[in-house]
Amino acid sequence: MKRTLQRRRKDHEEPYAISRRGWRYHHVGIPTTAPHPDDRHLRHLGIFVRSFDTSPFGIECTRHSSECQVHELVRSVPHVAFEVDDLEKAVKGFKMLSGMSPSSEGVRVAMIVHDDAPIELLEFSKDGKGHRTRQ
C-alpha cells in the first residue's frame, strides 16, 4: 500500500484497517520452535498449530516443519490476521507474500506485508444468507 500522509491516529481510535476498510480482527500468530503436546499438524501447510481454537484472546502459536513452504517472514515474525469480506479487494495495493489459497474447507487466505510485518487476510465462504461458514 502506498504511503500517504494521513493524520495521526488518536489513542482511542481504531486502526485504519478496521475503521475504514472494515477488516475484523481474527487472531495473532506467534512463531515458535518448541514442540508442544497440544500441537496439531496441518500437513498440507507443513505447520504445527496450537491455542488457535482455545485462546480467549485469539492467539495462535505456530511451529514450522522443514517441509513448510510458508514465507520466511511469516516463520520468523508474529503476524496479525483479519477477516475480510472480499479477499481480492483487500489485497489490492499491498505486496503479497503468498498467493490466495485455501487454508482449510471454506477459508481462503492471503499473506501481505506492510512495514516489514506479515498480515494474514482470511475470507470465509458465505452460505446463501450471507453468514460465514467454516468447518
Burial class (CB in 10 A: 0-12, 13-18, 19+), 71: middle
User: Which is it for strands 59-64 and 24-31: parallel, antiparallel or unpaired?
Assistant: parallel
pLDDT in tens, the chain (135 residues): 555 556 788 999 999 999 999 999 999 999 999 999 999 998 888 999 999 889 999 999 999 998 898 899 999 999 999 999 999 999 999 999 988 887 778 899 999 999 999 999 999 987 754 456 654
Q: What is the pTM of this model?
A: 0.85
Cell of 62: 505456530
User: Which is it for strands 95-104 and 47-50: parallel, antiparallel or unpaired?
Assistant: unpaired
Q: Where does 16-124 sit in CATH, by number?
A: 3.10.180.10
